[in-house]
Each structure stands twice: as C-alpha cells, then as structure tokens.
Structure 1
Amino acid sequence: MSGLLIVGVCIALFLIAYVTYGSYIVKQLDLDDNRKTPAHTEQDGVDYVPTKSPVLLGHHFASIAGASPIVGPITAAVFGWIPALIWIVLGNIFIGAVHDITALVASVRHKGKSIGMIIQDSIGVSGKKLFNLFAWLTLVLIVAAFLIITANTFVAEPAAGTASLLFIIVAVLYGFFVYRRNVPTLPATIIGIVALFACIAVGLAFPISLSQSTWVLLMMVYIVIASIAPVWILLQPRDYLNSFLLYSLMIGAVVGLVLTNPTIQFSGFSGFKTDLGYLFPVLFVTIACGAVSGFHSLVASGTTSKQLNKESDAKLLGYGAMLIEGLLAVIALITAAMLIPADYSNLMKNGGPVALFSAGVGQFMTTLGIPLAIGKSFSALVVSAFALTTLDTATRLGRFIFAEYFDQEAKETGKAAPSVLTNKWVGTVATAGAGGLLALSGQWAAIWPIFGSANQLLGAIALLAVSVWLAKMGKSNWYTKYPMYFMFAVTFTALVTLVWGNLTKGNYLISIFGVALLILSVLLGSLANKSLKNIAVGRNSGKSQKTTA
C-alpha cells in the first residue's frame, strides 16, 4: 500500500467533508454575521480582542494541536494502521470537528463564556459546578502530560530548548509592534517568520542542555507568567507565528511523501488485544486529539470565542482547524506505518513517539535536499513549540475555570468569595503547580492513558452540554447527541479499566483522579438527562395545549 495514496485520499475526504457536512452543521447553527460577537460587545483589550481569521486560526490551531495528534496515532499504530486510520478520518469528520464548531458557536452565543456557563444555562448551577471541577482536573492532567512531553523533547533535542526561548522574545516583539505601534500584519508576519527560522538556526548552533526536572520547573514559571499576560502580547502572536512552523512541517512532509512515496510496511490489523490493551476502548482514547478532544471545547469557549471577529469565521476555526489536525494525525501515522515492526518497537523504546515522528518527517525532507539531522531537529522543534503552546493555553483556561467556580460559590451563598480564591495569580499557580507535581512524580506511563480518557470524556460532556443547549432552543441535535453517546461508552469503559489497573499497581494518586472524574461525569450525566426529559415534557405539553385549543 502506498503512503502517498493514503494521504491523498484523506485530504480529499476532509475537503469533501468541509464543503458538505461542515456546511450542513453551519446551516443548523444559523450563523449570522449581523450578530455582533463577544469580541466586539465585550471588548476589553486583554481577553476580548476582535481578531482577523488568519491570525485567530493560527492561535486556535496552535492551541488545539500540540503534540497529541502526533503521539496518539503513533502509539495506537500497534493495533494496525487500518483501524487507526479509520478512527482518525471518521472521528474527525463526524465527531471531532462537530464538537469543536458547536462548542465555539455555543460559547459565542453566551458572550464568550465557558462551556461551564452554557451548562449552567441549560442544565443548572449544580451542573456547572460539577463541570468546572471535572474540567479543572482534566486541565491539570493536560499540563502534567505536556510538561513531560516538552521537557523530554528539550532533553533529547537541546536545540529545541534554545529556539523555544527565543520564540518567546520574537512573539512579544510581534505583539508589541502590531498591536501598539500599528505595524501592518503582512510585513510583521514576514519579518516574524524570518525571525523564527533564525531562532532555529541559533538553537542548532547553541543548544541548551538541562535535566528534565530543570526544564519542568522552568516551564512552570513560564506558563504562570504567560497565562496571566494579555493575549495580544504573547499568547496570540506566538501561536500565530508558530502555526507557520507547523504549516511548513506539514507541507514539507506532504511534498516529501510525494517524492518518496513510501510503502506501508506495518500490519494493517494486529488484533483486538495488544500490549496497550483491547482495541475497544484503548484505540479510541489513545488517538485523542487526532480524532476528537475535549480540550478543544475549552480552547474554543475559553479563548477563541472571545476573539472571533464574525460568526461565519466559526466554520474555518471550528470545523476546518480540526480537519487540519486530522491531516497531521494521518501524517504521523504514516511515519510509523512505513517502518517494519522491529524498527518501530526500537524507536518507541529508545526515543518515543516524538523521536519516531521527527525521524520519519526528517527522512521525507531529505528528498528536498534538507540534511536528515536538520530535518529531525526541525521536526522536534515544531512539536515542542506546539506542546508549549498547549501548556500555557491550558493553564490560562485553568485560571478562568478556577475563578469561575468560586465566583459561583459566592453567588449561591450570597457572600463575597475570598479575594484570594478568585485572584488570577492563585488560580494560575494552583493549575500549574498541581500539573507540575504530577509531571515531577515520574509516572508518565500512568499519566498519558488517563489523560487521554479524561480528555475524551470531557469531549463527551461538551457534546452533552451542546445537545441540551440545542434542544432547549428547539433545534435538531442528532449530530451532537449520537456522537456523545458513543464517546461516553468509550471513555467510561476506559476510565474504569485504568482506575482498576492503577489501583493494582499502587498508583493511588492517579487512581484518585480517575475515580473523581468518573463520579463527576455520572452526576453531570444524570442532571443533563433530567434536563432533556424536562425539555421533552415541556415541548409535548405545548403540543397538547395547541391540539386542545
């Protein structure tokens, strides 16, 4: 089987889906550019900032992509490339992209508020509190997982550490000159991209070698500062500029695929049980961001909805960005599938998924005249840059949710919440600190699977929230409701299995996280089910009254 043929077919399927099913979803959501978005009605120059779609796409895509669409597909390749590919394609088109655009639009219609606020309006205050607890715990797991991924990458490729530090300086300068000195976007972008590649060259010449724990501590300090700074000075410009690195990587990989046309060496199907576990549910939670990710709903409703310039941009940012991520997941899968099983196992043991991906893409780029060593370093740099992006976005979202939870407590009791609990520094340090402690625990093997399960369960809950919101408005919700049922079945099964496995191994901290997530999801699900029944009863009662009249 030709790797090029697989990528070509996937690109065609994603384009067809964007034009057809994506347009259908847009029609169901009734997008209207005459409605002013929260970026305009709530504009504050810090979080609510109207942003042109190309720039916002860069931020959104950089935030949702991270390293997961690379790590997940490569890890799940042990089940065979066919089931992994089917889940990436179908999961993206019918679940992941739908999840992202509906979460984004729902947030825009609620003044850019989080999914928690949407749940409060649709399900109730108790539902919002449960969701906020669930989301915050999931964000802590995300911070822990990506701290480990980024630190390991910096240790393996010291040049990535140097370049990433320099990227931060370039982003701050870009934000200052564009937003405070009104430098036009195009020339600023050109200069910024040139500066990024200059940073890569400096990184290769002057690599910084530090221990993994030192990198984790340094990044904890960075994400605390980055998560509190206004979005225009660092988060948005860095994500926008970094997106060009990923676009370059993907273009280089695709062109390299065209020129090399690698043959798939891996088994199409390796069986229902592997060292990872059973295909159901393990495959579906291992490939998380490559198919559907609950973290995307937090990004969409936490930062992107506050910057959306007009409603029609939601199709590109919600549905389109997820499909682009799906293509990245396909490319990552091909880098694994073109290896013979023995080479795959060796690279996974001695470098991990990021090293395997970097080696594969570096090999593709040799056909463009780029030396293998530079291609590998460039790939690792891009992955680490996006893992770092996910880190500070997740921490910023954790800060929002932490403060929102205690604000709600104050509203319920009628007493003012202690200022220390709603202070942005406290929420940020709590999120980064909890994630950092998990990262420093050394339990990477236990953290990644439970992160994937929690992340997917968060996606199921976001679909649940949107389904209730749509039902409350009297709109059709089958395209969110049925994917939600499937994701609940997958993730609940995975979490139960993981909790039991960690308990038997003595990983009690991870087990406590898992049990808490299970309990919160069951309670939230029961509240949502009650709300749906009440909506149905009210609708039927209305019909009966009309009939009687």
Structure 2
Amino acid sequence: MHPLLIALLAGVGFVVAYHTYGRWLGGKIFKLSANAICPSRRMADGNDYVETNTGVVFGHHFASIAGTGPIVGPAVAIMWGWLPALLWVIFGSIFIGAVHDLGALVVSLRNNGQTVGDIAGRVLNRRVRLLFLCVLFLALTIVLAIFGLVIATVFRMFPSAIVPCLIQIPIAVGIGAWLNRHGKSLKLASVIALGVMYLTVIYGDVGFLHTLNSAMAEWSLISWVLLLLIYSYVASVLPVWALLQPRDYINALQLISVLGLLVVGVVAASFFGGAGEAGPVFAMAAPAINANPVGAPAMFPFLFITIACGAISGFHCLVSSGTSSKQLKTEPDARFVGYGAMLTEGFLATLVILACAAGVGLGVKGPGGETLVGAAAWTHHYGVWSAGLGPALGAFVGGSANFLQALGISGAVAIALMGVFVASFAATTLDTACRLQRYIVQELANTVAPKAVGGFDALGWLRGKHGATVFAVGTALLMAATPPSGQSWSLAAAGRGGLMLWPIFGATNQLLGGLSFLVIAFYLWRRSVPIWFLVGPMILMLILPAWAMTLQAFVGESSWWAQENWLLVAVAVITMALEVWMVIEAIKLFPRVKGVIETGAVEPVTT
C-alpha cells in the first residue's frame, strides 16, 4: 500500500471516529454537561486548580501524554513489519486508548480533580487505593528515569537540538506571565512563541552556539539526567500557569505544526520522490510482516507493550486525572481534550511508522558513507533487535527529515527540527510526570501515616510539595543512575544501565492502563451505566502486559532472572503481585455494587 494512501485513510478514520464513537461516549455514556461546574472553578487555588483556555489545556495534555512513547514504540515495533504496528495503532487508539483517556478525565472531573488512584479507594475499597498508589509510584519512577535518559540520549545523538530545547524554558515563562498577569491575546502569544522557537531551530547551531551544543553533547548521561530532574523539580513546585502549562502549550504548537509539515512532506515525497539527484521512489521499504526478526521476542504479546503510547498508555490516566482535570472549563471540553488528543497521538504514531517504513528508504548514510535507499536503508537500521533504541530513533529522525527535505528544507535544519521534536516531547512528559509523582508521594504519605496530633510527624516532610518532589526526583535519579549489569558505580557508567528500564516501561505502562480501566468500570457500574464497551479492552490490558512481563522476567536465557538483573526482576514481581491483589479485590466486590453509589461520592455541582 502506498504511504500517502495510508496517511490519508488513517487521518480520515480518526476524524470519523471522533465525530461518531467519541460523540457517543461523551453524550450517551458519560453524559457530559455544559451546566456542570468543573473543579477548576469550584476549587480554584491559582496553583494546581486553574480555569484555563481549552486550547491551552489541549496543548498541555497532548504534549504531556505523547512524550517519546508514540515515537520510540512504533519505531522499534516496526521490526515485526509495518502492518501489525499500523493496525494496533489505529484500532487501539480509537477503541482502547482514547476511551481510556476520556474515561479517566471524566471520572476525575466528577471527583474534584482527584487522581485515579485516589478515586479507586472509594469506588473499590481502601486497600485497592493503597495498592494502586504503589503501582503509580513504581510506574512514575520508571517514567522519570526513562524519559530523562531518552532526552540525554537524543541530545548526545543530535547536538543541534540542545540550545533550541533549552531556550523553550524562558519563552514559556514569558508566555505564562504574558497571559496570566497582563491578560494579553493568546493568538498573539502563540504566533510570537512559535516564531521564536523556529528561529532557534534554524539558527541554534550556528557559530558559538554550535560550539556550545558540541560541548554540552559531551556531558555524561547522568549529568544530563541530573540537570533535567532539577528542571522537573522547579516545574513541579511552581504554579501550573508559570512554566508547566505554557511550556506544554508552546511545545504542542511546535509539535502539531511539525506534524503538519510531515504530512505535507509525505505528499511531496509521493509526487517528487526523495531529495537530491538520485530521487528514489517513495514506497514502503520495510516488509509488511516480519514474523521472526533476528533476536526479537515473539510478536504476540510483545508488539502490544512495545507500542504503548501510540495505541493505549496507562500513563495517560495520570495526566487526565492529575493535571488536565484541574484545568478544564467545561465538561464537554473533555471529549476534545481526552478523546481528541489520543487520536492525534495515534496519527503521530502513524506518521512515525511511515517515516521508519518508507521515509528511511529515501536515503540514509551507510557505514562507509555511501547512500543507501529502499530496503537496504531499512535493513541498515533494523538488522538485529539487540541494537537497541539508538537505531530506532535514528530511523525516525532520518526518515522524517527526508520528508522535510522533499519540501526543500535543508538537511541540517530538518535533522535539528526532528531532534527538537523528539526531545521536546520527552521533556513535556518529564515535567508533567514529576508533578504527578509529587501528588502520589503526598497521597502515599497521608495514607501510610496520617498526620500525627501533638506528636512527632516522621513523614511530615513528604506531605509538603517540596519534600515530596525532592523524594520523587531522588528515587528516579537513583534508578536512572544504575550502571550496566556487572559494572561498578562510576560517573562514566552511571546511566548507561538505566536504559535497561525501557523493556519494563512498556509492560508497567500498559498494565497501569488495565488497572485504570478497572476504576472507570467500577465508577460506571455503581451508577448502572453500561460498561460492555470497556470490558474487552480492560481484560486485554490486564492480561497482555502481565504475560509479557512474566516472559521477560523468567523465561529463557535472555530473561532478567538468567542475566541476574535483579532490579527489573524485583519491579516485575512487585508490580504483578499488586495487580493480582487488586484484581482479586475487584472480582470479590463486583457482583455486590451495581447501582450502589460509593460512600463519600462527590455529587456533581451544576449552575
């Protein structure tokens, strides 16, 4: 099938799904009401609960949920062929991922903007709340460690992306002050921010800035991770409007505009072929199905955890219920933000598949400096599974840069723009995840040891936002700093072994999606609302990740157990034990609670 036809059919399919299935969910199932008073107004505090323009919330939400997941996942999974990856992305995002994100957002909206973990304590029971919070803490620790390492890796591979990404921070602070203190126009701020960011991409690697980029690219992985986690700390404790929200919004502007450029690039490549004299034919260079890649695990179940964020991601429930639900103005906006953003992410994942399956075929540099095209170019990036994340990221950046070059954009600018694209996505997830982890740490501290009355409060420091955030970034830093198996701790080795966390990120992330579905199902079941549409996705996302995690941890010579990778074994065992316990609690409770509103339920407030 021609790449352009795939892009058109996917785009049309997502638009139709939004206006049909998404409309049915919003109107008939969740009954979104414009008369409901959202938590952003009822509980406004100027810090976390802030009534916000819908476009800004969409930008924050989309940039936060996307991260590098819909890039790295499809870029790696295409090893099994482009067709299985494409089918999972399209049908998964429409019928599973978008349903999950919308459900988590609406349930949180109707529970004072609380996280899904907190809500689990009411719709199921208090034990499940504690178990869910523990799963969330493990998952977010991995997210913070992984995304810090991914950004560091991107900066070392594509130094021209460093300065443009760093300059986004003061731009965001300025935009936040512009909008919130002076009440200026959002459109004007958007145009200014987008223009400045593209100027930094074009001129951010010229002269002295090139020297600066090259110098910073030599920093160790762990040095970059430390710097990024310090930034995340600052973004987490500041009011949401000061840095987190405007940075995510301006990043979303840049990212969506790049998506537009990539779509036009696909069209240009379809009619004019590749850039340069060779002008290779634009077609799928990857095989449609490659059932047995060298060194790869079985397609089933691993395809479904390798592609996480592009189809369904448990992390999204934390963004929906942790930050976005505290900012929405009206309930009907939940469909646009929750369902619409996930479909946009699905389209991004589709473009990633096209970049890695067809874009690389337009020409990449081979090991001897020669230009490889077609199937030879794809094989250069995807020879063996064990090559890791680097070749997959290289395939996406190189393939998508070829799309941009078909538009006449220079190769250097195209590479810089796509490097910024990847790093910016990861950074928006990083700062949002840090804020979410702060909420989880505070909730865990209050659950494990309620405030002491008239006595010593041992966990008092974890109840405040600064102490909780320090604990969040500290644990992530320790996990990220883990050296490769068999090596001792050192500055050079620190962080290199942390990339081994990627295999467990997909499994824990997808498992979290299944557990989130469980909470959404109980919320609806207690209100006698049909749940048939999410039972299948819930069961699928509870079984597949646990199956994959078990195989990774204990089966075969390459298992974590066989390789004595005790960190991953411990995380896997703890996570699966928590899942089994929660599922048992749910099965025991399910027959008794249909139509029974939970104790302490938050009653909707309307105008």
The TM-score normalised by the length of structure 2 is: 0.86
When residues 537 and 310 of structure 1 are mapped into structure 2, their CA distance, relative to the original with a 3 A threshold, is closer
The partner residue of 1:215 within 213, 219, 224 is 224
Q: CA deviation at 1:509?
A: 0.9
Within the alignment, does 1:522 sit opposite 2:580 as a pair? Answer: yes
Partner of 2:100: 99
Partner of 2:18: 18
Q: Deviations over 1:6-47 (max 9, x none)?
A: 111111111111111111111210100101000000001100
Measure the CA separation in 2 of the matches of 1:7 and 1:185. 31
Partner of 2:307: 287
Alignment of 1:440-451 (within 5 A): 440-441=481-482, 442-444=496-498, 446-451=500-505
Alignment of 1:191-210 (within 5 A): 191-205=192-206, 206-207=209-210, 208=213, 209-210=215-216
Q: CA deviation at 1:171?
A: 0.3
When residues 163 and 477 of structure 1 are mapped into structure 2, their CA distance, relative to the original with a 3 A threshold, is same
Partner of 1:174: 175
Q: Deviations over 1:403-447 (max 9, x none)?
A: 011112345998967311212122212222222222222225531
Say if 1:143 and 1:391, in contact at 8 Å, map to a contact too.
yes
Say if 1:140 and 1:435, in contact at 8 Å, map to a contact too.
yes
The partner residue of 1:259 within 242, 253, 268 is 268
Identical positions, percent = 36
Measure the CA separation in 1 of the matches of 2:481 and 2:352. 28
Within the alignment, does 1:268 sit opposite 2:264 as a pair? Answer: no
When residues 14 and 234 of structure 1 are mapped into structure 2, their CA distance, relative to the original with a 3 A threshold, is same
Partner of 1:2: 2
Say if 1:101 and 1:314, in contact at 8 Å, map to a contact too.
yes
Alignment of 1:225-374 (within 5 A): 225-261=234-270, 262-271=282-291, 275-338=295-358, 339=361, 340-347=374-381, 349=387, 351-374=390-413
The TM-score normalised by the length of structure 1 is: 0.95
Deviates more, 1:460-469 or 1:193-202: 193-202
Measure the CA separation in 2 of the matches of 1:537 and 1:390. 37
Deviates more, 1:457-466 or 1:337-346: 337-346
Measure the CA separation in 2 of the matches of 1:185 and 1:287. 35
Measure the CA separation in 1 of the matches of 2:230 and 2:248. 19
Q: Deviations over 1:319-348 (max 9, x none)?
A: 110000001001101111124454334336
Say if 1:122 and 1:531, in contact at 8 Å, map to a contact too.
no
Within the alignment, does 1:433 sit opposite 2:474 as a pair? Answer: yes
Residue aligned with 2:168, SS: helix
When residues 326 and 491 of structure 1 are mapped into structure 2, their CA distance, relative to the original with a 3 A threshold, is same
Partner of 2:138: 137
The partner residue of 1:391 within 418, 426, 430 is 430
Measure the CA separation in 1 of the matches of 2:64 and 2:356. 24
Measure the CA separation in 2 of the matches of 1:411 and 1:430. 18
Residue identity in the other structure for 1:175:
G
Higher helix share: 1
Say if 2:480 and 2:499, in contact at 8 Å, map to a contact too.
no
When residues 324 and 434 of structure 1 are mapped into structure 2, their CA distance, relative to the original with a 3 A threshold, is same
Within the alignment, does 1:419 sit opposite 2:422 as a pair? Answer: no
Q: Return 5+ residue gaps in structure 2 as ranges.
A: 271-281, 362-373, 483-495, 598-607
Q: CA deviation at 1:395?
A: 0.8
Measure the CA separation in 1 of the matches of 2:458 and 2:322. 22
When residues 436 and 344 of structure 1 are mapped into structure 2, their CA distance, relative to the original with a 3 A threshold, is farther
Say if 1:276 and 1:282, in contact at 8 Å, map to a contact too.
no
Partner of 2:487: none
Measure the CA separation in 1 of the matches of 2:200 and 2:589. 53
Q: Return 5+ residue gaps in structure 1 as ranges.
A: 540-549
Partner of 1:493: 547
Measure the CA separation in 2 of the matches of 1:151 and 1:53. 32
Residue aligned with 1:368, SS: coil
Residue identity in the other structure for 1:18:
Y
Measure the CA separation in 1 of the matches of 2:452 and 2:305. 39
Partner of 1:150: 151
Say if 1:406 and 1:417, in contact at 8 Å, map to a contact too.
no
State the Cα RMSD in Å.
Answer: 1.8
Deviates more, 1:202-211 or 1:340-349: 340-349
Measure the CA separation in 1 of the matches of 2:173 and 2:535. 42
When residues 62 and 344 of structure 1 are mapped into structure 2, their CA distance, relative to the original with a 3 A threshold, is same
> What is the count of residue pairs matched by the alignment?
539
Measure the CA separation in 2 of the matches of 1:141 and 1:525. 23
Say if 2:397 and 2:419, in contact at 8 Å, map to a contact too.
yes
Q: Deviations over 1:300-330 (max 9, x none)?
A: 0000000011000001101110000001001
Partner of 2:507: 453
Measure the CA separation in 1 of the matches of 2:580 and 2:130. 14
When residues 433 and 154 of structure 1 are mapped into structure 2, their CA distance, relative to the original with a 3 A threshold, is same
Q: CA deviation at 1:291?
A: 0.2
Say if 1:144 and 1:436, in contact at 8 Å, map to a contact too.
yes
Say if 1:146 and 1:387, in contact at 8 Å, map to a contact too.
yes
Q: CA deviation at 1:70?
A: 0.7
When residues 521 and 412 of structure 1 are mapped into structure 2, their CA distance, relative to the original with a 3 A threshold, is farther
Say if 1:162 and 1:202, in contact at 8 Å, map to a contact too.
no
